[in-house]
Amino acid sequence: MIHPLKFRPILKERLWGGTKLKEVFGKPIESDITGESWELSTVKGDISVVANGSLEGKSLQELIDSNAEELLGKSVVERFGKEFPILIKFIDAKQDLSIQLHPNDALAKERHDSFGKTEMWYIMDADPKAELIVGFSKDVTKEEYAESIDNDTLLDLLNYEEVKEGDTFFINTGKIHAIGAGVMLAEIQQTSDVTYRVFDFNRKDKDGNLRELHTELALDAVDYEKKDDFKVSYGHKKNEVNTMVDCPYFKTNFIELTENLDLDTTQRDSFTIFMCVGGEAKISTAEGEVSIKSGETALLSASTEKISLQSSGAKLLEVTI
């Protein structure tokens, strides 16, 4: 019987990070350049540890190793074995992130023995005029792209999207992208830390060094076509489950609560994650209950059959496989 789980955040200093994860969400941070809070992870060296209930102190990987089908779901184990297939983060960009992309599964497996990295972003907060970079503004050739890297003119080829709270983006592999300064978001992605950084505004780290670029690796991984396939349209019906993203790697729904809502998950052969992106809610199951507020995450086992969401005001992202 695995009760609803919360985990200790894994906090990451980043050159571009800020203080909002502490100021807005109350994360236990002392640094002024914390860019990421990893909420659910089994990435080697960064494995989440339970923060509540009778399983407090156990790692997520320990629970998977001993209760894989109960926790993950039979179909998930058949696909991914005893690996947690997604990585959940909150990100605070005080400065622009580097311009980057991620390889697909085939390239990532061949080069890094890893999954590729398909991801989605839900904008939780954005300063006025804050932007994302998503894709190209026109079709480009491999040669044009390579020339822009050599000539330091890549920024002229890119597509810029001004954002506000609630905007949602799906970033498939190969799509060039960057989170802009002043954006705080929730990120859901395949479990992978494989990133090809192609431009970093010529910034230097605290030791005065330029960060590594992956120019050659990226050439065969970039999708050079202009595609308007990244902005996610989704319903906003309150106290209902609204589909956002349904891809082979994860499914995400948007739930805005103004009253309590019961969910029947009897037929769901997958774990369930709730990311709170506004307000607060209590999640109750036969195995126990947990409360989450904005900037917090809960994991429910695949064996959970009924979920009761109790709130008078909350916005949740519900994630399954």
Distance from C-alpha of 198 to C-alpha of 200, rounded to nearest angstrom: 7
DSSP 8-state code for residue 76: H
Q: Judging by DSSP bridges, how do beta strands 177-179 and 242-246 pair with one another?
A: unpaired
Q: Which of 197, 203, 211, 268 is catalytic?
A: 197
Catalytic residue check, 203:
no
CA distance 77 to 99: 34
What does the pLDDT profile of the chain (321 residues) look like in tens digits? 899 999 999 999 999 999 999 999 999 999 999 999 999 999 999 999 999 999 999 999 999 999 999 999 999 999 999 999 999 999 999 999 999 999 998 999 999 988 889 999 999 999 999 999 999 999 999 999 999 999 999 999 999 999 999 999 999 999 999 999 999 999 999 998 889 999 999 888 778 888 899 999 999 999 999 999 999 999 999 999 999 999 999 999 999 999 999 999 999 999 999 999 999 999 999 999 999 999 999 999 999 999 999 999 999 999 999
CATH numbers and ranges of domains, the chain: 10-219 (2.60.120.10), 242-320 (2.60.120.10)
Question: What pTM was computed for the model?
Answer: 0.95
Number of H helices and E strands in the chain, helices first, is: 6, 21
